[in-house]
Amino acid sequence: MPRIDAFLQLGREQGCSDIHFTVGMPPMVRLDGELIPIKYRAMTEEEIASMVAEILSCDQREELDSKGAVDFSYASPEAGRFRANVCVQARGTAMVCRVIPNQVIPLSRLGVPSVVATFTHLNAGLVLVTGATGTGKSTTLAAIIDEINRTRNATILTLEDPVEFVHESQKSLVVQREIGTDAISFGEGLRAALRQDPDVILVGELRDQESIALALEASETGHLVLGTLHTRGAAQTIDRILDAFPPESHSQVRTTLADNLKAVVSQELVRAADGRGRRAALEILIVMPAIAQFIRDGQSHQIPRVMETGRRHGMQLMDRALLDLVRAGDVDPDDAYRLATDKKEFEAFVTPAESMPSRSGQAAREAG
C-alpha cells in the first residue's frame, strides 16, 4: 500500500474535503473550511517527493518535470478516490488531494432547491454550475448526471480533468473521458464529442474561448450541455462568457446565449449551524423570455432585478438563499453574513465580534 494512503484514509474518516502535504509542515486537512494540522511531525522534501513518486505514472512524472504541476485522479482500495494536484514550489514538492465521495450523493439528499431536478429533463441547451474552487460544483453536476443516468435512456459523455465521480451505466450509457489521458484538451474532446452521438455532454470546466464556443455550438445542435465556470453570480457568468470572445463577436455570442442558455446555478458552501459540515447556498437563474432579452441586448446588469421577482419560476439571488438558510436555522449566521453582498438583513442574526469563539481552535479540538 502506498504510504500516502494512510493519510488519505485518515482525512476521509475525519470528514475533510482536502488533505495538504507541504515541506516543513505536518499534513493538514481542510475540515468545514478550516485548515487543521494532523498530529504528525513536519514533513521533509524527501518524504513528500518519495510518497508522490509511488503514485505517479511515467506520463504524470514527465508532466510534473516539464510543467511544474500535474493534475490527476488517484484511487486506492483502502483510501478511496481523490482528485490530486502535485506542484513544485519554493521549498520543494507540494501536494493536495480532494476527497471524492465513495458514492454520488443524489439530488434529493443534497438539499438543493427542487428546480435543479428539472434540469435533468432538458433535451437541449446549456446549464452552467458556477462558483469558486471548493464550492461543490462537481458534486452538484455529478448528482444531475446520476439522475439522468437512472431515469433517462440517453448517451452521456463526460469530459473531465481528471475524472472524479465514476458513473456506472444504468438506464443511460455513460462514457467518461479524462483530459490529458483520453483527450488532449477540452476543445479536442468537444470536437470529437459532436461525432460520438451523445445526448448529454458534461464539460468539467469551460476554460477558454475554444471550449466555450464549442459548448455553445453543441447546445445549439440538440445536445444538453452541462458545464462549470469559476465565476460568482449569474449575471457575472454572462459577462465572463462574453469576455472570452473578441468585442466584434459579442453580438453573435449574446444571441446564441439568449437562445440556448437554460439556467445558471452559482454556489457557495456555508458552515452548518451546529458547526459540523457545510450546506450549499444556491443562486439560481432560469432563462425566461425577459432574461433572454436582457442577454440579447447586452443588459446583464438588469438580470438580478428580474431574478429577485422570479421566485415562482425557481429563481433566487444568493443573498435570499443565504437568508432563507439562516432563518431556517440551517447555517451559521456569521458565515452567511460574511458571504452576503447586502449585509443589512443579516445583522440581526450575527454574533457580536467580542463574544465569538475561535473557529480554528474549535475545529482543531474536534479533529484531534
pLDDT of residue 180: 86
Specify whether 94 is located in the same domain as 116: no
pLDDT of residue 86: 97
Task: Show pLDDT as tens, one digit a residue, over the chain (368 residues).
Answer: 899 999 999 999 999 999 999 999 999 999 988 899 999 999 999 999 999 999 999 999 999 999 999 999 999 998 999 999 999 999 999 999 999 998 899 999 998 999 999 999 999 999 999 999 889 999 999 999 999 999 999 999 999 998 999 999 999 999 999 998 899 999 999 999 989 999 999 999 998 999 999 999 999 999 999 999 999 998 899 999 999 999 999 999 999 999 999 999 999 999 999 988 899 999 999 999 999 999 999 999 999 999 999 999 999 999 999 999 999 999 999 999 999 999 999 999 998 754 445 544 544 444 44
Which value, to the nearest 10 degrees, does the dihedral of the CA atoms of residues 184, 190, 192, 194 take? Answer: 180
Type of residue numbered 132: A
> Which residue matches cell numbers 432579452?
293
pLDDT of residue 353: 57
Specify whether 168 is located in the same domain as 288: yes
Specify whether 196 is located in the same domain as 339: yes
pLDDT of residue 237: 96
Specify whether 37 is located in the same domain as 138: no
Report the candidate in 37, 36, 11, 35 with the shortest Cα–Cα distance to residue 26: 37
Domain count, the chain: 2
Interatomic CA distance for residues 254 and 241, integer angstroms: 9
pLDDT of residue 249: 97
**φ/ψ of residue 342, rounded to 5:** -100, 105
| Local structure of residue 190 (DSSP, 8 states) | H
Specify whether 199 is located in the same domain as 161: yes
Is position 42 within any domain?
A: yes
Domain span holding position 84:
4-100
Specify whether 167 is located in the same domain as 271: yes
Per-residue cell: 14: 475525519
pLDDT of residue 265: 98
> Which residue matches cell numbers 452559482?
266
Q: Are 62 and 72 in contact (CB under 8 A)?
A: no
- Tell whether the torsion through CA atoms of 95, 98, 99 and 100 is positive or negative: negative
Is position 353 within any domain?
A: no
Specify whether 144 is located in the same domain as 115: yes
pLDDT > 70 in the chain, percent: 96
pLDDT of residue 44: 97
pLDDT digits (tens, 9 = 90+) for 46-101: 999 999 999 999 999 999 999 999 999 999 998 999 999 999 999 999 999 999 99
Interatomic CA distance for residues 98 and 20, integer angstroms: 9
Q: Are 80 and 98 in contact (CB under 8 A)?
A: no
Q: Are 320 and 326 in contact (CB under 8 A)?
A: no
Q: Identify the domain boundary among 83, 100, 117.
A: 100
Specify whether 18 is located in the same domain as 147: no
Q: Are 73 and 82 in contact (CB under 8 A)?
A: yes
What does DSSP say about strands 224-229 and 200-203: parallel, antiparallel, or unpaired?
parallel
